[in-house]
Amino acid sequence: MIAVVDYGVGNLFSLSSSLKFLGLDCVVTNRKEDLLAADKIILPGVGAFGDAIRKLNETGLTDTVKEQAKLKPLLGICLGMQLLFDKSLEFGEHEGLGLIPGVVAPLSDDINPQLKIPHMGWNRLEIKKDDPIFKYFKSGEFVYYVHSFYAKDCTESVLAVSYYDVAVPGLVRKGKVYGAQFHPEKSGDAGLRLLKAFAEI
């Protein structure tokens, strides 16, 4: 059973649909019992970092997510991935979950100003470090991104990157904790294969 954490941030329809499409048992939940009972957890999210971390704290699930991340595979997606880091510089400075060392910073500070922000659309995901999550994925396949902030100072955790002037960490991992900056649930067949591999870890 995969528990998808519902903390009132973003649209979970396509994420839960994609898991169901793969024949995976999943529950969209804000209940602690479900996170304890699940064998995997997905932390989704869209929107602003500060708002999201506040909403997650309001559900009272923050400590449970942190504890469970030591015991079972957890996948943060998009903003859910950014929440895994130590802190974010989006509209001020916000503390993250601290599950992966690194900081979330604006792309606009580091890339050619001619490039459009957000980094939106399909980009190649290049594998840097082999991992079971790539069981059904070939390096260089396209995945779908929508984001304006990205993870920095996290070299040790990077599994795969996409190039948008800078190397944007696309997939990161520390221990049992994975993060995907792109949306696997919106990345067509390639994205579904990444979710399938995550479910088999």
Residue in 26, 141, 154, 185 annotated catalytic: 185
Q: For the CB of residue 179, give the shortest distance to another protein in the complex, in Å.
A: 19
Q: Which residues bind another protein (CB under 8 A)?
A: 11, 13-14, 17-18, 20-21, 46-48, 116, 118-124, 138, 140-142, 144-146, 163-164, 185-192
- Known catalytic residue: 183? yes
Q: Is 185 a catalytic residue?
A: yes
Closer to another protein by CB, 177 or 199: give it.
199
Whether 67 is a known active-site residue: answer no
* Rounded least distance, CB 165 to another protein, Å: 8
Please identify, using beta-carbon distances, which residue of 86 and 122 lies nearer to another protein: 122
Instruction: Give the C-alpha separation, 71 to 164, whole Å.
Output: 34
C-beta closer to another protein: residue 89 or 192: 192
Min CB(10)–another protein separation in Å: 9
> Which of 33, 67, 183, 200 is an active site residue?
183
The nearer residue to another protein, 34 or 90, going by C-beta atoms, is 90
Residues belonging to the active site: 78, 183, 185
